[in-house]
Amino acid sequence: MLSPDENVIKHNCPPSKSEMLDALYLKQGKERTDKFQNAVVAVCGLGGLGSNIAVSLARAGVGHLILIDFDNVDITNLHRQQYKASQVGMPKSEALAANLREIAPYISLTIHNRRIDQDNIEALVGSADVICEAFDNAESKAMLVNTILERMSDKYLVSASGMAGIGSANEIKTKRIMPHFYLCGDLTSDVSECDSLVAPRVALCAAAQALTVLRILAGKFDI
C-alpha cells in the first residue's frame, strides 16, 4: 500500500514503456498485442467517431496512428468527442494527439491538419494497414470509400453509416460488404432527419469500428 505522498509521485510519472507493454500483455495476450503494436491505422475524420476510435486503438496498444482532420474543436463537439473544454478552438488533430499522448505516452502519431480529397488520399493514408472512415458528411463518406476501394484495394477499410438519434443500441451492426470493406452503424439514421447526435450511440458505432480494426489486425476477418 502506497502512502498518500507516494501516490502523488506515481501519478506525476507515467509508467515506463515496458511496464505499459506488460500490462497490455496481461489483459490482451502477447501475440495479439504484438500484432497491434506493429500496426499502422489511419483515422479519417476526428469527430464523434474518429476521436473515440483513436482513443480505443491507442489504449489497445496500436503502434502508429495517422490522424487526419481539417477542423477545430467546437463547443458543440464536447458532449460526444474526446476533447476537453480547454481545447475549444484548437485544431482537432493537435488536440487529440495531446490527449492520446496522455493516455498512451509511447504511441507513434502522424497528424495532418488538412481536408482529405481525392487527390491527397493516397499520400495521406498510403502507409496504413487499416483505414477508418469517420467523417460526418454522407457525400464525403462516399467519396473516401469509393476512392479507397477503387485505388487502394489491398487496404482494409472500416466505415460507418447511421448512428444519429436515440435509437436502440441493438440497431448498431457491423456488416462485411466486401472482403476488405466493413460497414458499422444502423445504416439508416441520418442526422438531417433525426436532428440529434447522442453521445453513447455515436460511441457505440465508434467502438464497433475500433473492434473491427482490432479483429482485422488479430487475423479475425469474419463478423
Partner 1 sequence: MVKINGEEKNIAGMTVAEYLSSSNYNLARIVTEINGTIVPKSQYADKTFADGDTVEIVSFVGGG
Residue numbers of the site for partner 1 (CB under 8 A)? 45, 47-50, 134-139, 141-142, 145-146, 149-150, 153, 160-164, 177-179, 181, 183, 187-192, 194, 197, 202
Question: Cβ closer to partner 1: 5 or 154?
Answer: 154
Residue number, 24 or 66, with CB nearest to partner 1: 66
**Using CA atoms, how far apart are residues 69 and 35, in angstroms rounded to an integer?**
26
Q: State how beta strands 130-133 and 181-185 pair.
A: unpaired
Q: CB of residue 187 vs partner 1: minimum separation in angstroms?
A: 7
DSSP letter, residue 119: T
d(CA 120, CA 104): 28
The residue (of 39 and 197) whose beta carbon lies closer to partner 1 is: 197
DSSP letters, 125-189, are: HTT-SEEEE--S-HHHHHHHHHHHHHH-TTSEEEEE----BS--GGG-EEEEEETTEEEEE-S--
Residue closer to partner 1 (CB basis): 84 or 151: 151
Least CB distance to partner 1 at residue 113 (A): 18
CB of 13 to partner 1, least distance (A): 36
- Residue 96 C-alpha from the chain's centroid: 11
Instruction: Give 21 or 198: the residue with its C-beta nearer to partner 1.
Output: 198
Beta carbon nearer to partner 1, 5 or 195: 195
Minimum distance, C-beta of residue 166 to partner 1, in the bound complex (Å): 12
Nearest distance from C-beta of residue 191 to partner 1, angstroms: 4
Q: How far is the CB of 47 from partner 1 (least distance, A)?
A: 5
* Min separation Cβ 189 and partner 1, Å: 7
- Match 441493438 to its residue by C-alpha cell: 170
Q: Which three cell numbers stand for residue 170?
A: 441493438
Contacts of 100 (CB under 8 A, 6+ apart): 54, 55, 58, 65, 107, 109
Q: Kindly tell me which of 98 and 187 has the beta carbon lying closer to partner 1.
A: 187
Contact 191, 164 (CB under 8 A): yes
Question: C-alpha grid cell for residue 50?
Answer: 474518429
